[in-house]
Amino acid sequence: MSSQNQLFKPDGKNSIHDGIEHSPSGGKALIDPTDTVLLLLDHQTGLFQNVKDIAVADLRRNTTALAKLAALIDLPLIITASIPEGPNGPLMPEIQQVAPHAVYVPRRGEVNAWDNALFVKTVRETGKKTLIIAGVWTNVCVMFPALDAKAEGYNVYVVIDASGDPSEIASRTTLARFTQAGVIPTSANAVICEMHRTWNRPDAAQLAELYCMASPSYQAVMESFNKAQEVEDAKQTNNGPKTTRSTTPALAAQSR
């Protein structure tokens, strides 16, 4: 059982269960990890060649971070591709490499994954009512199923920086349509944070590594912190007894 399953319970409260007293209103407005499934749609190598609103390297890194998060916290993950043997190309291999538990659903040519009966059946069978979706292109492969799922009563989040569009204007108009329909735009970093919720957990170090993927500059924060601690340790060794340093999971994670 993952630490995520121990920290959160499917009681609708979305509160942290780590033996510490927390505010009862904390988490009410956040994604509930016990009611969520991750959908990664059409991250295909051919489509990547037409992505212009985000660097493809960033898109792939953020998508991989989400897949790693799903594997780390036992989050259901469903993936699919539209005609992978055609010009859109195969799925990026990183997803299944880091998340072997991912369920792949083949399609029969449907552009909209929600038009595929097996795909919708697979989503429904998870029993989850919150969908986190990312894919390429945002204005087609993500938007179509996101709108259909929202109309069916799901809570839908779209990870904009793990998705990509052929132009900035396509991305902006898609965002406008999402907000009008009640689909919530978010980022890979925000999703990791909402699933994370506390450093008081045994997988804090692995989560810190995911932050470095979604926000590479965070690695510089960790390196600066570690170097400052090394300098302080050297001073204490030369000048007398060491002072007691914090050993919280957050700092333990950052010193990995």
**CA separation, residue 37 to residues 120, 123, 144, 231 (Å):** 12, 8, 17, 44
Query: Measured in whole angstroms, how far is the alpha carbon of residue 243 from the centre of its chain?
Result: 38
Report the alpha-carbon distance of residue 203 to residue 138 in Å, rounded: 31
Q: Is 193 a catalytic residue?
A: no
Report the alpha-carbon distance of residue 199 to residue 20 in Å, rounded: 12
Residues in the chain: 256
Report the alpha-carbon distance of residue 44 to residue 17 in Å, rounded: 39
Positions of E strands within the chain? 36-41, 77-81, 103-106, 130-135, 155-159, 184-186
How many helices (H) and strands (E) the chain has is answered by: 11, 6
Phi-psi label, residue 89: left if phi above 0, alpha if psi -120 to 50, beta otherwise:
left
Query: Residue 130 forms beta bridges with which residues?
Result: 36, 155
Is 76:37 a contact under the CB 8 Å cutoff? yes
3-state secondary structure of 130: strand
- Given 51, 141, 143, 213, which residue is catalytic? 141
Report the alpha-carbon distance of residue 127 to residue 194 in Å, rounded: 20
Active-site residue list: 141
